[in-house]
Structures are given as C-alpha cells and as structure tokens.
Structure 1
Amino acid sequence: MKTIRQVSMLQFTLMVSAFQISVAFLSLPRELARQAGTDGWIAIFFGWGMATLASVALVKVMKNSPDGSILELIQRYMGVWAAKIAAFIFMAYYLLLAYDGFMIASLVIKLWLLPSTYIYVLVLLLLIPTFQIAQHGFQAIGRYSEIVALISIWIPFVYLTTLRHARWLYLLPVLKEGWFPVLSTVKIMFYPMLGIGLAFFIYPHLVKKEKALTAMVISNTLTCLVYLGITLVCYVYFSPDEIGEFNEPVISIMKSIELRFIERIEVPFIAFYLFVFSCIWIPSMHLVSMNSAWLLGKDKERGHLAVWCFAVAVSFFIYRPSFIDVARVNNFLNLTGFVMEFALPVCLLMYVAMTKKVRGGRRS
C-alpha cells in the first residue's frame, strides 16, 4: 500500500502517547489507590513493561507487511474472510473507544463547565472538528498531535505548584501490604496503555519503519512518566482515605491553585484539556471509517466517516450515558483492549512464524 501521506517518527510517537494519556489521565490515580492504596504507583512500571513487550511483538508482526496494514497481513496469511472478520472487529473496537472518549469528555464538561447543556449537543459540537481532522488521514492527525503536545507543555509545571501542600509521609511505608495488592492492580493498567494498537494501521505510513519500535518505546515511556508524575502528586496531596472518593482527583487538585485573575482555575483547565481528550476519538473515528470502507470494498473513507459521526450523534440523542455507564465501558475495554493490543500481537507473531516455517518446510 503506497501512500503519499507519510507520518514522521515524532508524529507517530506523540500520536500513540496522546491516545494513551487522553481520558485515562483523569481517573488513574483513583483506580490505582482503590486497589493498592498509595503503593498503586508501582503498578505503572509493570504496565510499561507489558506495553513494551506487546510493542515488540507488534512491530515484528508488521515487518511482514511493510506496505499494508494488519488487514492486508491477515488476508495474506489467513484469507479474505478472516481479514473481513478482523476489519469488523477492529471497526467495533475503535468505535467503542471513540464512544468512550465522547462519554467521558461530555460528562466532565457537563459536570464542571456546562451543567445545563444536553450531552448530545456537546457531542455534536465535538464531532464537527473531529470530522474536519479525521477525514485527512494519519498525517493530519499526527500534525494535530504535535500541536496538542506543544501547547500542553505547561501542564506539568502547574501540577508542580501543588507540591507545596504535599505530605510525603503518605507514601510510606512502601509495600505496606506486600506485593499482592500491587500485582493484582496491574490489570488496571491495560486500559491506560491502550493505543499501541495504532501501529497496526500507521506502520505502512511511517517514514522510517526501522525506527518504529524505538518510537513506540519512547511513547510508552513518556506515557508512564506522565502517569507516574500525576499519580504521585495526587498521592501526596490527598490522604490515602480520601483519594478514592474523588471521581477526577486530577481535576479536584486544581482547587488548591490560587491566582488573582482566575477564581476557578479548573474551569479553563478542563476547557483546554479538551484538546488532549480529542486525541483518542479523532484517530479512533478515522480507523472506524477506514475499516468500514475496507470491509465494504470501497475507498470513500470520508463518506463512511460522515455516516459514523452522524450515528454517534444520534446514539447520544437517544441514550444519555452516566458515569456508571463509563465505568462499565472502561471495565469492558480493559478486557477487550488486553485481547486486541496485548494478546493479539503475540498470537499473530507466533502464527506468522509457524506459517513461515511450515511453508518453508514444504518448499524444501
């Protein structure tokens, strides 16, 4: 698959990392604390290790299809119908990821910014720029990720100002209940690390494919550094007993920041953070339209994207989700994401290796 819309390594790195950080950033400290207390930050390192191993397997698999996506690879090794089934599964998977992103963003906006605005109106407003960017493919999405990363550099420095209220003794003693709570928390890290699967479809667009693994390791490391930083900040700001009571401790901590010209700094922060939120549903909607067009044997991805955007808007008009629905979807994505982005690359790598060995044996 030749393409003139190539993606640079920087764009690829930021695209994957922004996808991972987007919506999981807000609630990760709470989820880790509920399972392992103030030792939950240790599970982030295990999440990084698993994501890196899955990235290695994924890149090794895609080296067998340098000019085509995962669908062309499956078609070559398993047949047309297997590829069509895979296209449908990927379409449903990324549609759910996009829907999850829209749910979280709209509910956060409604809770903190616009309580009187209907959710479907908020989603409709978010879908307009989504369509404008996603229709131009991975290169436009990569450039958008670069802009988001550039204008987000100030965020870590804002959180560092909250450390004047830090109580570092909250972190002690380390491993107060042993390794079991930490190891049982590792499964929570599947959802925050979702995004490495983008390489299944971006790989043929990369300028320097030989550096794909390096870019993925950097993106996973960048993501985990962000998670580690915000988790530790929340742990030393909130007491171990109260951090689990906040739905978005990352936003609640903003109340400790006082500026003379802004009464509630969390309000402009949430408005700005919509750029980061969008880094999950914009590439997801593009992948939904790409797989939909591939499934039907048509190249008009823009038309498919318009149909899916309309369908998402209608779904929010018919059904108004709640935070309970978000928790259910997140739990489901935690399981399906593990299968799609962690287990699938390993299984495909073993299948391709066995197929090559069998075919090589027959030729000899």
Structure 2
Amino acid sequence: MSPFVKSPLSFLQYVFIIAGIQIGIAILSIPREMARFAGTDGWIAIVLGWLITSIPSLLTVQIMKGSPDGTILDLIKKKLGRWLAIPFALVFAAYLGGMAYIGLLRTLLIIRVWLLQNTSPFIVLVLLFIPTYIVTREGTNMLGRFAEAIFYFLCWLPFIYLLPLKEGQWLNIIPILKEGWLPILSAVPTVLFAYLGFIAVFFLYPHLTHKKHAGAGVLLANTITMMMNLLITLVCFVYFSPSEMIEVNQPVISVLKTIQFKFLERIEIIFISLYIGLYSLSWIPALYFMAYCLKWTTNGARVRSYLIGLLAFIGIGTYFYLPTFNQSVWLEYMMTRIGIVVEYILPIVIWIYLVIREKVRREEQLG
C-alpha cells in the first residue's frame, strides 16, 4: 500500500491548503502595492494575475498525472534518476523555507506592532511554534483538517469588509483605465506574489482521494484567492483616496478602524487576532513541505525530526536578528522574483520536457 493512502485529503482540504498559502502570504500587502503601481486600476491586475496563474497551475496538475502515487520528487527520480532529483529537492526546500519564513516574519511583526508591543519577539515566536509543530507532525491529513477548520471558522470574516463601503467614495475607482494599460501590466509581476502557493500541488496530489478533480481544485483555490484579494482591494480603494492608499501603512488593517460597535472598542485588534489563524496557513504547510523535501533528500529520519530542527534554526536566528518591516518588504520582492521562476516557469519547462520525452519514446517504439 502506498504511504500516501494512509493520509488522504478530501477535495475541499486540498483546495483550502492551496488557497490558505496564497491568501496568508500576501493579503496585507496587495492593496497598497496595487495602488503604488497602477493606482485605483490595480484591481484589474489582480484579475489578470488569476488568468496568468491558471496556466502553470493546470500544467502542475498535468505533470503530476505521471506520478499518481508519488510527489514531484518521485516523478523526477523516475524520469531523471535520484542524483538529479536531489538538486530539485534542495531547490524546492530552499524556496518553501523562504516562503515559510516570510509568513512567520510578517505574522511576528504584526503581532509586535498591534497586539504585544512589550513582549519579546522570541517569546512570541515560540508561542507560534507550538501549534505549528502540533499540526505538522501529523502530516498532510492534519494539515487538511487544520486548513478546513480555519476556513469554516473564518468564512464570515471577508464580509465584514463590506461595512466600510457605506462611508466610501465609489468615485475613487472611476474612470477605469484612466492611465491606460501600461501601469496595470507593470503591476502584474507584483500581484503574482499573491498567487504563489500552488506549488503545494506537487506534494498534495498523491494524497488526494479523487485525483480527477485536482485541476478543478487548484482553479477553485486560485479563484478564492482572487475574490478575497479583489474584495479587500476594492474596499480599500473605495474608502481611501488614491493618495492615502500609498501613504497609509497596512490599509487592510487601518480600514477596520472605521467599523464600530457600541459593545466593542478597537475592533481591529480582534480581527488581527483572528487573522493569525489565516496567516498560519502560509507558513505551516510550507514548513512541512520543506521538511519533507529534506527528508526525501537524505532518505533518513522522519519528517518530524526535520521539523524540530527547522523550528530550532528559525528560533535561534530570530533571537539574534529580527528584520524590520522594510526589510520584510524587500524579502517579499525577492520571493516574488524567485517564485515566478519556481512556480510559473519551472512547471512549464518540466511539462515541455515530459511531452518531448514521451514523444521520443513512442517514436523509438514505433521505429
């Protein structure tokens, strides 16, 4: 029996893990970045990013059809040999580690600024590590349940952002295409950062119970991400003026200050606390996939042992050095460039290679 059968994933769990990684990694930065590049037409770039992402997402699924009982590393090993698969595993591990670190770093910085200003960042990080280890030590089955629980628990949260619209100005977003297509197209590379995370298909596919729905699942995850980013971006554009969108730090959080209830003060603090669960979907799966890649490379201890080592390494590193918000923005910029190569270009290259290889093999058989 395949080891992947022991930790199956339902269709919705598969969707929620992918969407969780995508939403958690960029939800705070997208509105301001879109305003900086394309003004109030930045929402169009979000839609274009969804269209572009659909192509490598579906190719990723198509690639994995050649390895229904294994991950991308097993497929590369079968086609190219183990010694060529190991460098791929290390590249995936480094990339996923960067993604996990950015998610953790952003969450840590937000907690320090908005919730626990006087608490040591190392202590906060240790507190974040506890649920991280509890979830990841059980593998993909627990990841799926965790992502499903988070989405069900917080599915009402985006609709709260509709409340500030009553005080907004819809004139802020018109006319559409006021500066033409060039600013919008220049924002597309940045918006692709919001869709990074479908690389999870490479590792989730063998666990999926109904693999024939894998393509529909990744498209659904991309659509959930698009709708979430589109809703929050449009709300921010309507509420803040074009000049305020660039000047206000974290407009996604600042817009929550306009929501008032007679029985509750500082509602943004409550929502930030709830959003931590959503942010965790960006680093917890990525950290698990990274540990899996390292385990596969060495063919040694269990994934759990690598998780402990990775958490200890991140904790010790953060104890001695904690990047600032500006430095985290630079890290996001670099991750966007690396992510375009790993998640957008690499699947296309692998798919082309597999198609050519299969064609050559058939010609050899006929000849």
In the alignment, the residues of structure 1 paired with residue 359 and residue 155 of structure 2 have an alpha-carbon distance, to the nearest angstrom, of: 48
Partner residue of 1:204 out of 195, 206, 212:
206
Q: Residue in 1 aligned with 2:81?
A: 79
Q: Residue in 2 aligned with 1:258?
A: 260
Partner residue of 1:320 out of 319, 322, 327:
322
Partner residue of 1:70 out of 66, 69, 72:
72
Q: Secondary structure at the match of 2:193?
A: coil
Q: Is the 8 A contact 1:9 1:206 kept in 2?
A: yes
In the TM superposition, residue 79 of structure 1 has moved relative to its aligned partner by 1.6
* Amino acid across the alignment from 1:106: L
In the TM superposition, residue 260 of structure 1 has moved relative to its aligned partner by 1.6
Q: Secondary structure at the match of 2:155?
A: coil
In structure 2, runs of 5+ residues without a counterpart are none
1:311 aligns with 2:305: no
In the alignment, the residues of structure 1 paired with residue 141 and residue 205 of structure 2 have an alpha-carbon distance, to the nearest angstrom, of: 12
* Amino acid across the alignment from 2:336: N
Q: Residue in 2 aligned with 1:268?
A: 270
Partner residue of 1:53 out of 52, 55, 73:
55
In the TM superposition, residue 259 of structure 1 has moved relative to its aligned partner by 1.3
Q: Deviations over 1:272-326 (max 9, x none)?
A: 1110010011101111110111111125111111111111111100111101111
Q: Residue in 1 aligned with 2:186?
A: 184
Runs (4 or more) in structure 1 with deviation over 3 Å come to none
What is the 5 A alignment of 1:286-305?
286-305=288-307
In structure 1, runs of 5+ residues without a counterpart are none
Q: Deviations over 1:142-201 (max 9, x none)?
A: 111111111112212211111111100001110000011001111111211011100001
RMSD over aligned CA atoms reads 1.0
Q: Residue in 2 aligned with 1:337?
A: 339
In the alignment, the residues of structure 1 paired with residue 339 and residue 332 of structure 2 have an alpha-carbon distance, to the nearest angstrom, of: 10
Q: Deviations over 1:85-140 (max 9, x none)?
A: 01111111111111101110010111111111122221111011100101111111
In the TM superposition, residue 361 of structure 1 has moved relative to its aligned partner by 2.0
What is the 5 A alignment of 1:54-203?
54-203=56-205
Q: Residue in 2 aligned with 1:248?
A: 250
Q: Secondary structure at the match of 1:175?
A: coil
Which stretch has the larger CA shift, 112-121 or 313-322?
112-121
Which stretch has the larger CA shift, 224-233 or 150-159?
150-159
In the alignment, the residues of structure 1 paired with residue 26 and residue 248 of structure 2 have an alpha-carbon distance, to the nearest angstrom, of: 14
In the TM superposition, residue 246 of structure 1 has moved relative to its aligned partner by 2.1
* Amino acid across the alignment from 1:361: E
Q: Deviations over 1:197-236 (max 9, x none)?
A: 0000100000000100011111111110111111100000
In the alignment, the residues of structure 2 paired with residue 221 and residue 134 of structure 1 have an alpha-carbon distance, to the nearest angstrom, of: 26
In the alignment, the residues of structure 2 paired with residue 140 and residue 129 of structure 1 have an alpha-carbon distance, to the nearest angstrom, of: 12
- Pick closer, same or farther for the CA change 1:174–1:93 going to 2, 3 Å: same
In the TM superposition, residue 76 of structure 1 has moved relative to its aligned partner by 1.4
Partner residue of 2:283 out of 278, 281, 284:
281
Q: Residue in 2 aligned with 1:235?
A: 237
Q: Percent identity?
A: 38
Partner residue of 1:219 out of 205, 218, 221:
221
Q: Is the 8 A contact 1:27 1:247 kept in 2?
A: no
In the alignment, the residues of structure 2 paired with residue 347 and residue 88 of structure 1 have an alpha-carbon distance, to the nearest angstrom, of: 18
* Amino acid across the alignment from 2:351: L
Q: Is the 8 A contact 1:134 1:141 kept in 2?
A: yes
In the alignment, the residues of structure 2 paired with residue 124 and residue 245 of structure 1 have an alpha-carbon distance, to the nearest angstrom, of: 33
Normalised to the residue count of structure 2, the TM-score between the two structures is 0.97
* Amino acid across the alignment from 1:362: E
